[in-house]
Each structure stands twice: as structure tokens, then as C-alpha cells.
């Protein structure tokens, strides 16, 4: 059984239908214009022991015979073998035509308009002289002129229908193909836009974390914190609650402060190993409790960090941890009275934070008198403002 493809030339479809339409046909030759390669091509199919295979046919258009037929033939006509451009024969003496010569016209030529080169594609059907082509066995009755006229009309209309359906299928296929290409292109553009947005979002997270680091650097009198490249890459891929990033950076700084408390180096590098994304509220609509806490106590936390960093610097210089020395060690020096006022203003929040995070701010909670005095206040005297 013949198989068909939407992308095949309509002429090939016709050749594949021939064994079904004309079981006893000797052969069919097709000459057509192929717009894909801008060339005239020739194919043929013949009855070879029940096998029908379409093969290429080599030909030369001597004297422009084929081109002339393609320009003029738009319907059908019956020819003798010697009248076709494929038969090599010697010239015969002129003989008077009579009714018996019609019996020799056993080749049916048909032409179908090709819209690409504005000429006609040609089919040459090689019939037997008898009706055996149509399954009428047991008879040697020859094809009469009336038979040929009926065959011509029927076969022409059948092939015309096949070619029109093939062209329509090809047009529909091309339309679907273009739509599919368009959808694929749109999908690619959307994917590119998404990747671009994700990249921009990641860069924004990096800028945000860099601003946090800058803020802590400005409040530090000893260390200069720097995010490494792998830390920046990890931040870029972060998908959690944005407000949790500040806590994450703060924890990383607290960690390296404890790790390098006795270091003489100025630059402290924060790698991805120091960034903990766990329990930061990734994928949750509501803010984590710790993030909410930071939003409420951010100014107090910054004050404690500032005093802790300054106190660490004072200890490194073997000086007494007094308000005057700590004030001078701050990144922006402040007076002792100013420190007292700030601690008094944040008293209740300081007590809450120092109790909640006993591992943080170890120097000022044990050695800095203004903070120690705050912790000594009786719990029942603390205002309910924390």
C-alpha cells in the first residue's frame, strides 16, 4: 500500500495512486517543475512483476519539445509512442492517415497547470491497446476512440482531484507548520524574558545584600566585610522571603566576628558556607518570625552591633572598655553621654534582645558597664514596650 506525506509534491502523489487507478498500466512518466530546487524533474513508475517503484528519469529536451508541450498542453490528448519526447525512432515515410492509425494512439498525455512557473506539469500514461488495463480479462477488444475519450475525461478529473487535494493538504500542513514555528518562537521569547527577569531579580538581591554589608561596614570600627563570588552566586539564586536576607547577612557577620575575633586582618570574607538559607521563610506567604523580629528591633540591633564592634576594637588595643573609649572607637565617634542616652532610649528592647540571644554581643553584655547596668534592672520594673 502506498504511503503519503504532506510535504511531497502533488505529482508524486499521483504516481503513487496509479497502481490503484490503473492496475494494468504499462508505465507512467511525469515531467514537472519542482519549485524547491527550481528545476524540471522527470519521474516514472512501471509495472515490474507487481512491484511499483517511482524512479528518476534522465532526459534531454531536444529541440525544446518538452517545454513546448508544457506551454501548450492544458487538457489531454492521445499520442503514438514515436510522438513522445522519450522515444528514439527513425523518420518514417509519409503515409496517409486512416481510421486504423487511431488504434496506435495508446499514450494518454495530460497537462496540469503549475502556479510556480506558470506552465503545465505533464503525465504520459502508457496503455495497452486492449481493455485489459481496466480489469476486463478474456478479451482482446481494442480501445475505441469513444473508449479513449471517456477514459481521458474520467482519468483527467480523477488526477485533478488528487492534485487539488494534495495541494490543499500541503497548504494546510504549511499553515500548521508556520503556526507551530510561531508558537515555538513565542515560547522561546517568553523563556528568554523569564530568564532575563530572573537574572535581573537575582542581581537586585545581590545589590540589596551588598547594601546591607556596606551598612555594617560603616558601623564597624575593625573589620571590612566582603561577600565572595560564590556567596554572591548563592544570593542570586535565593527564592525565599526578601526581608529575611538582612537576618541572614547579620547571622553571617556574627559568625565571622566570633570566628575571627582575634584576627589582625582588616578584610573578612563571607563565603557561601557562612550563608544559611534554612528557615528563612522560602516559599511562604507570611514573614518568618525572626524577620518580623528584625523589622521591629532593627535600630536596636544596629546600636548593639555598633557598640560590640567598637568594644572589640578597644579590647584589641588593650584599652579599658569605657564609654569614652568605646565612643571613640565607633566608625562615627560619639560621646559618652550620647551612648547613655541611646541605651536608655532602647533599654527595654536591649534587655529583650540580650535575653533572647545570649550568644550575641558577648563583650558589651559582660564588660561594658552601661549595658551591664541595663541587664541589672529588675524584670518587674521594665516597661512593657519591648
* Residues 23-53: tens digit of each pLDDT: 767 889 999 998 888 889 999 887 665 567 8
For the entire predicted model, the pTM comes to 0.45
Helix (H) or strand (E) holding 269: strand 267-270
Q: Is the pLDDT of residue 54 over 80?
A: yes
Supply the pLDDT for residue 234. Answer: 92
**Cβ neighbours of residue 354 under 8 Å, at least 6 residues apart?**
304, 360, 361, 365, 371, 375
Q: What is the pLDDT of residues 309-330, one digit of tens each?
A: 888 888 888 899 999 999 998 8
* Percentage with pLDDT > 70 across the chain: 81
β-partners of residue 267 are 224
Q: Answer yes or no: are the C-beta atoms of 89 and 117 closer than 8 Å.
A: no
Measure the CA–CA gap between 277 and 254, rounded to whole angstroms: 15
Q: Answer yes or no: are the C-beta atoms of 128 and 106 closer than 8 Å.
A: yes
Supply the pLDDT for residue 230. Answer: 92
Q: What is the mean pLDDT of residues 216-220?
A: 80
Q: What is the mean pLDDT of residues 281-307?
A: 65
Q: What is the pLDDT of residues 70-89, one digit of tens each?
A: 988 778 888 888 888 876 44
Of residues 214, 19, 276, 242, the one with CA closest to residue 125: 19
Q: What is the pLDDT of residues 96-124, one digit of tens each?
A: 444 445 567 788 999 999 988 999 999 99
Domain boundaries 10-170, corresponding CATH code: 3.30.450
* Percentage with pLDDT > 90 across the chain: 19
Supply the pLDDT for residue 119. Answer: 92
The chain-wide mean pLDDT, for the chain, equals 80
Q: What is the mean pLDDT of residues 169-197?
A: 83
Label residue 282 by pLDDT band (50, 70, 90).
Answer: very low
Out of 28-42, 137-151, 256-270, least confident range:
137-151
Label residue 293 by pLDDT band (50, 70, 90).
Answer: low
Q: C-alpha distances in angstroms, 264 versus 38, 259, 316, 333?
A: 80, 12, 9, 22
End-to-end CA distance of the chain: 88
Supply the pLDDT for residue 179. Answer: 86
Q: Answer yes or no: are the C-beta atoms of 52 and 18 closer than 8 Å.
A: yes
DSSP-derived letter for residue 262 is T
Tell me the domain boundaries of the chain. 10-170, 219-381
Q: What is the mean pLDDT of residues 117-134?
A: 80
Helix (H) or strand (E) holding 309: helix 289-316
Q: What is the pLDDT of residues 319-367, one digit of tens each?
A: 999 999 999 988 778 899 999 999 999 999 999 888 888 888 889 999 9
The torsion angle over the Cα atoms of residues 163, 165, 169 and 174, rounded to 10 degrees, is 50
Measure the CA–CA gap between 81 and 236, rounded to whole angstroms: 80
Of residues 37, 102, 30, the one with CA closest to residue 59: 30
Q: Which residue has the cell 523589622?
A: 295
Supply the pLDDT for residue 298. Answer: 77
Q: Answer yes or no: are the C-beta atoms of 224 and 268 closer than 8 Å.
A: yes
Label residue 375 by pLDDT band (50, 70, 90).
Answer: confident
Supply the pLDDT for residue 92. Answer: 46
State which of 209-213, 284-288, 310-314 shows the largest mean pLDDT.
209-213
Q: Answer yes or no: are the C-beta atoms of 84 and 46 closer than 8 Å.
A: no
Supply the pLDDT for residue 60. Answer: 81
Of residues 106, 93, 202, 183, the one with CA closest to residue 145: 106
Supply the pLDDT for residue 286. Answer: 44
| DSSP secondary structure, 152-191, as one string | HHHHHHHHHHHHHHHHHHHHHHHHHHHHHHHHHHHHHHHH
Amino acid at each position: 500500500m502506498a504511503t503519503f506525506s504532506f510535504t511531497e509534491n502533488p505529482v508524486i502523489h499521483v504516481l503513487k495512486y496509479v497502481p490503484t487507478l490503473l492496475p494494468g498500466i504499462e508505465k507512467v512518466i511525469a515531467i514537472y517543475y519542482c519549485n524547491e530546487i527550481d528545476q524540471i524533474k522527470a519521474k516514472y513508475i512501471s509495472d515490474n512483476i507487481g512491484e511499483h517503484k517511482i524512479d528518476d528519469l534522465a532526459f534531454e529536451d531536444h529541440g525544446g519539445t518538452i517545454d513546448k508541450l508544457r506551454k501548450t498542453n492544458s487538457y489531454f490528448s492521445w499520442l503514438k509512442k514515436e510522438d513522445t519526447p522519450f522515444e528514439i525512432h527513425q523518420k518514417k515515410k509519409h503515409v496517409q492517415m486512416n481510421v486504423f492509425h487511431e488504434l496506435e494512439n495508446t499514450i494518454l498525455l495530460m497537462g496540469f497547470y503549475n502556479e510556480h512557473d506558470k506552465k503545465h506539469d505533464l503525465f504520459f500514461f502508457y496503455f495497452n491497446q486492449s481493455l485489459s488495463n481496466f480489469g476486463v480479462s478474456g478479451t482482446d477488444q481494442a480501445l475505441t476512440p469513444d473508449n479513449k475519450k471517456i477514459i481521458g475525461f474520467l482519468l483527467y478529473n480523477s488526477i485533478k482531484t488528487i492534485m487539488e487535494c494534495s495541494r490543499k493538504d500541503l497548504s494546510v500542513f504549511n499553515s500548521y507548520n508556520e503556526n507551530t514555528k510561531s508558537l515555538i518562537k513565542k515560547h522561546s521569547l517568553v523563556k528568554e524574558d523569564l530568564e532575563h527577569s530572573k537574572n535581573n531579580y537575582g542581581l537586585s538581591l545581590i545589590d540589596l545584600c551588598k547594601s546591607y554589608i556596606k551598612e555594617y561596614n560603616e558601623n564597624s570600627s575593625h573589620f571590612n566585610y566582603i561577600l565572595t563570588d560564590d556567596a554572591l552566586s548563592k544570593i542570586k539564586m535565593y527564592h525565599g522571603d526578601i526581608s529575611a536576607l538582612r537576618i541572614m547577612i547579620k547571622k553571617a557577620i556574627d559568625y565571622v566576628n566570633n570566628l575571627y575575633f582575634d584576627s589582625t586582618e582588616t578584610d573578612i570574607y563571607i563565603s557561601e558556607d557562612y550563608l544559611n538559607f534554612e528557615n528563612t521563610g522560602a516559599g511562604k506567604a507570611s514573614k518568618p518570625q525572626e524577620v518580623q523580629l528584625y523589622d521591629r528591633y532593627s535600630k536596636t540591633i544596629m546600636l548593639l552591633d555598633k557598640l560590640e564592634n567598637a568594644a572589640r576594637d578597644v579590647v584589641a588595643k588593650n584599652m579599658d572598655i569605657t564609654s569614652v573609649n568605646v565612643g571613640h572607637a565607633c566608625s562615627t565617634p560619639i560621646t559618652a553621654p550620647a551612648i547613655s542616652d541611646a541605651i536608655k532610649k532602647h533599654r527595654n528592647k536591649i534587655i529583650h534582645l540580650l535575653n533572647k540571644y545570649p550568644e550575641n554581643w558577648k563583650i558589651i553584655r559582660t564588660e561594658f558597664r552601661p549595658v551591664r547596668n541595663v541587664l541589672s534592672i529588675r524584670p518587674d520594673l521594665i516597661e512593657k514596650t519591648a
